[in-house]
Amino acid sequence: MRGLLIVDIQNDFTEGGALGVTGGAQVARDVSTYLTTHGDNYDLVLASRDWHDANTDNGGHFAIGGAPNFVDKWPVHCVAGSKGAEYHPDLDTSRVDVHIKKGQGEPSYSMFEGVSDDGKTVADILDEQGITEVDVVGIATDHCVRASVIDALGAGQGVTILTDLIAAVAQDTGEKALEELVSRGATLHK
């Protein structure tokens, strides 16, 4: 059984957002097209969003009162209920079976650190549904996609990264992330 993991295709991670990634809006459009043509290939589709608490540094994740270092301290982004936290408008979420929220009051990168609205983890949902293989798409290759793939592999999933449906913060760190993920057992596919 195969699942699709859609990582953080949100307004704040696309062009014009607080941490906008070049190509992010195109990923939203391309994932929507992909779901139209390939959605029936999946037994389960999950999508994650950063969903950070307002008026807090979220466990040091937000650089409040100081400069962000873009490693573990970031500008305020994806605050729960804000426009920035919403899925990008070009991402068609009608095929998404389970929505995952992560980073609620704490630093979070992997969708496996989040929970569904009924409090289930991604690993539990995949196990319950008998999913053993996942394809991964989304933003950003060198951060949340990377962390989600590492955790999917750690959960025993066979993982394929659909390289036409991801965007990195920077080309070099995106390429390094993909090299690392292949070395850990992930497969790349266009």
Question: How many structural domains does the chain have?
Answer: 1
The dihedral region occupied by 70, where left means phi > 0, alpha psi between -120 and 50, and beta the remainder, is: left
The reported pLDDT for the residue numbered 139 is 98
In order of 54, 115, 141, the CA distances from 5 in angstroms are 26, 14, 13
* Residue ranges making up the domain that contains 185: 2-189
Catalytic residue, chosen from 102, 135, 142, 151, is: 102
The reported pLDDT for the residue numbered 136 is 98
Catalytic residue, chosen from 12, 78, 144, 151, is: 144
Residues 25 and 90 sit within 8 Å (Cβ to Cβ): yes
Residues 10 and 31 sit within 8 Å (Cβ to Cβ): no
Mean pLDDT value across the chain: 96
Residues 38 and 49 sit within 8 Å (Cβ to Cβ): no
78 is catalytic: no
The reported pLDDT for the residue numbered 83 is 97
Residues 143 and 109 sit within 8 Å (Cβ to Cβ): yes
12 is catalytic: no
The reported pLDDT for the residue numbered 168 is 97
32 Cβ contact partners less than 8 Å away, ≥ 6 residues apart: 90, 91, 92
Catalytic residue, chosen from 8, 12, 30, 142, is: 8
At 153, which CATH number? Answer: 3.40.50.850
The reported pLDDT for the residue numbered 180 is 98
Tens digits of residue pLDDT in 169-180: 999 999 999 999
Q: Please report, in angstroms and rounded to a whole number, the separation of the first and last CA atoms in the chain.
A: 20
190 is catalytic: no
The reported pLDDT for the residue numbered 84 is 97
Q: pLDDT digit of tens for each residue in the chain (190 aa)?
A: 999 999 999 999 999 999 999 999 999 999 999 999 999 999 999 999 999 999 888 998 998 888 888 888 888 899 999 999 999 999 999 999 999 999 999 999 999 999 999 999 999 999 999 999 999 999 999 999 999 999 999 999 999 999 999 999 999 999 999 999 999 999 999 8
| Structural tokens at position 83 | 């426009």
Q: How far apart are CA 24 and CA 21, in angstroms?
A: 5
> CB under 8 Å, gap of 24 or more: what pairs does 24-27 form?
24/88, 24/139, 24/140, 24/167, 25/88, 25/90, 26/167, 27/137, 27/138, 27/139, 27/165, 27/166, 27/167
